[in-house]
Amino acid sequence: METIGKPLKRRSRIHSSEQRVAYICLIPAFLGLIFLTYAPLVGVLGISLTNWTGLKSPEFVGFDNYVKLFTTDPYIKDSIIATIYFAFLSVAGSMIYSLFIAMLLNRKIPARGFFRAVFYVPFVLPAVAIYVGWSWLYEANFGFFNYLLSEVGLNKILFIADSRYVVPSLSLIAVWLAGNLIVIFLAGLQNVPSVYHEAAEMDGANGWKRFRHITLPCMTPIIFYNLLMSLIANLQVVTPALALTNGGPGNSSRFMTYLMYDQAFVNYKLGYACATTFIIFAILAAFTAVLFKTSNRWIFSEGGDDK
Amino acid sequence: MKAGKRLGGVLLAAVLAIGAAGCGNSENNEKSAAPTGGESSKAPENTSSPTKKVKITYSMWGSAEEGNTTQAVADKFNASQDRIEVEVMAIPWENYMTKLNTLATANQLPDTGMLREDGVIQWSSQGMLNDVGSMYEGSDSKPLDSLAYKYQGKTVAYAAANEILLLYYNKDMFDKAGVPYPPSALDQAWTWDEFVAAAKKLTIDKNGKHPGEDGFDSQSIVQYGASVENLPWQLETWAISNGGGFYNNDGTEVRIGENASVEAIQKVADLYLKDHVAPLSVGQTDDGIQRTVIAGTVAMATNGQWNVGTSLNTAKEQGLNYGVAVLPYMNEKVTLNTGGANVVFSQTKHPEEAMEWLKWYTSEENNWGLISSGIWMPVLEKWYTDETLTRKWVENPNFPPYDEYKSAVVDYAQSSAARPASWFYTNHTTEFNTLLGSILGDVWTGKTTAADAISKNLEALKAAHSGSQ
């Protein structure tokens, strides 16, 4: 940066006026960030140190809420486990699924446009309608999947009514919903220079080798981006718990965001909910940091001078 | 981050509400100041004349359209006397309690309004509600005793409507199996064992076999005999019926750890696990009747009276031949009654006027649409005791046959079996029921027993009940 920065300083007045314009244009964005993101974040931290219920004026209670969360709260441990388990299955599943589908859709197959639309459609469907539909498929007594199982003489699977299967079942829906990842992968695949493939083909590399040594390395920046977006989205999962399971059976789908919602808008323990929010924030931050820290080890950059 | 934003939004909303409070005050000032601008020069004494009406606001949950309907009723009240002017504030159900919380923070609550069942004692405990015990003093008909919300011995609200739990059944399925209908009279109520025995006769696998017969296959059941709703608050019925309960009579102690309570919950779970007469339900969603009797997969199901008006009336038009009966019992005959509350907020300056409006408004004529459709039951005793009034209420095509409904619902609701649900007298029922629901998740599927699950979590349940969790 410094080597570029110094000559800039010697540039003309035009440049510094440009800078001024840039800062002025950035003001709305900064205001938005400060008042809609950072100030509320500080507010949440402040409220998390009180016993505010919304009815009485809040009293300062120090770190009581955090202490309670880590000692006597009956939900938070199960909730963190359920959320991470869900995020792991959903991220891994949707990355593999969407990369695979994107590669198929990148081939010159008939009706390609139609298939691209088909795989994207779940992503734009209204969430509640999707979950109602899946609830009929998963229903434990007379659902469609159980009908199929009983037709072939197998025992019923309770799916979302069973604490062992509920998270994998919900992850499957999340994978099926990953149409947005497919689109981004598809864009990435089209940027993989075809000369590499042609050259490798001449050298006699088979399909797997070309995937492993050309497609995959070229795709790593896109994979990183998708991984990050998908991880953040899945750690914040709440819709299936709200629309389908109400956190059950037991606590097996009481995801962190759902727990926070329940504390804040069902029980009106706003201070307590803010403390939970901060823990969610910390977990998200930790996962994101780990992902960024390890990224330079596996992201292939064409310049090659980063390493 | 997103979560942070959402809570931030709440904070912001609170800030805005406080801002609005400021605006509200200035608005009031303007109003009182307004006459000086216009006609005041002629007659300044007008402002203090006795004809000026007291303005009160009544909040309700519902759409803007429902709000307009209620406002039309309020306009009748406004025209009927010259002292009180009622304005209706309609708030969508999903945001209702959140909005009231925000208004409370801003000291801008309406004078009176509806409140969710589980919020009444909580709000009372924070000093937000007025004593309304004097509301029906000197009236010819009072609400049923079981419909008063009590906090520290004081009546802090009356239910806006009545609801009780009952047993619904599909008459065609009973006729086909040759099983007598469940009794609609309380003195003939089935014992639990009789109920299970009947349910077995009504449960059929794909080869036509019943549970207990040779070759019965519990994996290929095509019709179930019974479904007992296992939403936590409704389970209290069975705990009490078996001689236990969730709490003692004044809600000061938790009794769910007692053998009788635990055994009752296990019996409900065993309908699916051992008796094979019930479909699996994990007690998390409030659509029991749609999933069972209306779906045509279950012969009998327990649930609240409101289903008559919210779903069964449509199903009936489409050919469902259903009946109503009293609940079976374990030791004692018990049903729970409930109903959202009408309260007077303690922030009001006009408690008397608010009560006068509530008393007028909750007379059944004003909620006739909800009552005649079968969603609400009347609150005033006279509708249960005076047969002319009962007939006026029940004899319409939304209801099952008069005699059946009169016995299984009207008489049942005023019998000794009807007990107020726990939110009429104890606090923190939401926390308790949420925790109980989560504890019982693996009981319904048989991975653990009710005894194990509850004894392991008894301290947490007690903490939830005391509000310290």
Cα–Cα distance for residue pair B235/B240, rounded to 1 Å: 9
Considering only CB atoms, A54 lies closest to which of B101, B282, B285, namely B101
Q: How confident is the model at residue B436 (pLDDT cuts 50, 70, 90)?
A: very high
Please state, in angstroms and as integers, the Cα–Cα distance from residue B115 to each residue in A12, A59, B8, B228, B348, following that order. Answer: 68, 25, 26, 28, 15
Handedness of CA A257, A261, A264, A269 (dihedral sign): negative
Q: Name the least confident of A146-155, A224-233, B335-344.
A: A146-155
Which of A156, A245, A264 faces B7 most closely, judged by CB atoms? A264
Q: Domains, chain B, ranges and CATH?
A: 7-162+339-394 (3.40.190.10), 165-337+423-466 (3.40.190.10)
Query: Residue B38: what pLDDT?
Result: 37
Q: What is the pLDDT of residue B31?
A: 37
Question: In the numeric block, which tokens belong to residue B88?
Answer: 């209706």
> What pLDDT score was predicted for residue A9?
53
The helix/strand/coil state of B206 is coil
- What phi, psi does B130 have (nearest 5°)? -90, 155
Task: For chain A, say whether B224 makes contact (Cβ under 8 Å).
Answer: yes
CA-nearest of A307, A112, A121, A296 to A190 is A112
The tens digit of pLDDT for each residue in B223-243 reads: 999 999 999 999 999 999 999
pLDDT band at B30 (very low <50, low <70, confident <90, very high): very low
Report how many helices (DSSP H) and strands (DSSP E) chain A contains, helices first. Answer: 16, 0
pLDDT of residue A11: 59
The CA distance from A45 to A56, in Å, is: 19
Calculate mean pLDDT across residues B184-188: 95
In this prediction, residue B8 carries a pLDDT of 42
The token duo for A77 is 């441990």
In this predicted structure, the answer to whether residue A110 has a pLDDT above a threshold of 60 is yes
CB-based contact (8 Å) between A156 and chain B? yes
Residue B420 has pLDDT above 70, yes or no: yes
Hey, of B12, B108, B204, B284, which one would you mutate to test binding to chain A, going by the most A CBs within 10 A of its CB? B284
Given a cut of 60, is residue A184 above it in pLDDT? yes
pLDDT at B111: 95
d(CA B223, CA B241): 27
Confidence bin at B425 (pLDDT 50/70/90):
very high
Mean pLDDT for the stretch of residues B433-438: 93
Tokens of B350: 């006009």
If you average pLDDT over every residue of chain B, what do you get?
Answer: 86
Mean pLDDT, range B290-306, rounded to an integer: 93
pLDDT reading at B21 higher than 80: no
Cα separation of B178 and B167, whole Å?
19
Kindly state the percentage of chain B with pLDDT values over 90.
Answer: 64
A168-177 pLDDT, tens digit per residue, is 999 999 999 9
Q: Is B94 on the interface with A (CB under 8 A)?
A: no
Residue A111, classified by CB atoms within 10 Å of its CB into exposed (0-12), middle (13-18) or buried (19+), is: exposed
In the structure, what pLDDT confidence band is assigned to residue A109 with cuts at 50, 70 and 90? confident
Q: Tell me: the pLDDT tens digits for B306-329?
A: 999 888 988 999 999 999 999 999
Under an 8 A CB cutoff, do A74 and B104 touch?
A: no
Mean of pLDDT over chain A: 87
Question: Which residue in chain B has the smallest CA separation from A161?
Answer: B282
- B154-159 vs B112-115, strand pairing mode: unpaired
Helix (H, G, I), strand (E, B) or coil at B424: helix
* Per-residue pLDDT reduced to its tens digit, A134-178: 988 998 888 899 989 888 888 888 898 888 999 999 999 999 998
What does R_g of chain B's alpha carbons equal in angstroms?
Answer: 25
Residue A275 has pLDDT above 50, yes or no: yes
